[in-house]
Structure 1
Amino acid sequence: INAQQVPLPIYVRPQATFGPTQGRVSIVCGTKPAFDDKTKPVENVSLEVRLPSRVISADPSATHGMATYDDTGHYVKWVIDKFPGDKTPCLTVQVQLVSNAPKDGGKGGDEEGGSEKARKMVSLQELVEIHAQFAVQGAGVSGIKVESLQVRNEKYKPSQGVRYHTRAGRVVVRT
């Protein structure tokens, strides 16, 4: 099923800015108004923020939940068990980067051309991918409804009822 066909119960809004040696990634995550139901809350939200390979270190800080940085995999894992009712959770990651400026100090054939090349290298935005997982107990977002169910040739009487459960398959957000 295409993500455009199935409404997601959460939104993820990333912003990323990178300079020659440092950068910042900010992510706001919350529930959509259609899923802001207290009886069926969005739970166990986990965002894996994959940072560029030239990141040396990262310092994540979250307003809600727990965020940790894995330096071997170059990603930040942000876990939100339950969304707070009063404010929207936000994650800010300050990163230190390996400089991608030319080794000779930007001195190419002519001085102006070398600095232009260095400026282009700095201005290119790095790719940040966010992999999201979540669960919603008792809700079905696919639109599939069970109207009736018949059980035949059984000696016991089955109980009537349907249980819906929504969990994320693979949701990727790119900056």
Structure 2
Amino acid sequence: MPRAADEPVRLTRIYTRGGDAGETSLGDGSRVAKLDSRITAYGTTDELNSIIGVVLAGDCPTELDAPLRRIQNELFDLGADLSVPFGVEGRLRVGQSLVDALEAECDRFNEALPDLKSFVLPGGTQAAAMLHVARTVCRRAERETLAAAAEHDVNPLVAVYLNRLSDLLFILARAANALAGAEEPLWKPGASR
């Protein structure tokens, strides 16, 4: 039975044994080592997506739910972008509109937050702490994307998206604490001396 238009994949079994020798397929069907920098980049993006799932499954404020769910879907789009060489036409790509939407969310959530007078330490609520974990994994995904771009044709907007997303995750961590009425942990230089 053919796939429906709204059915991106059909998996009848999860294991294929195709990767047992240390190779995997890119989105265009070409085989590469599982250690290929593109695989590393979209693997870390998948890790990031999983962490956002943990945030959503926990004490996430309802105001953050819709943007985080949208971001989860966009991260799958981003992984699809990384999995197909940039020169291949007609494939799902990260575009400027996704970056613009992240910037709009940054502005919207940051507007309600107090100005920063110190660096923020990860913590406060469980959601805020996990959003900080997501932010650091996002930064790693960005670095790995830049490494992949140094070796392969990669959509340059993928790294831009991840850079902006890490900013938004920082803001959302602060917002999670503010919405819960939790005190924001701040860095106090030399406080333990």
TM-score (norm: length of structure 2):
0.21
Q: In terms of Rg, which structure is larger?
A: 1
Query: Which has a greater percent of strand?
Result: 1
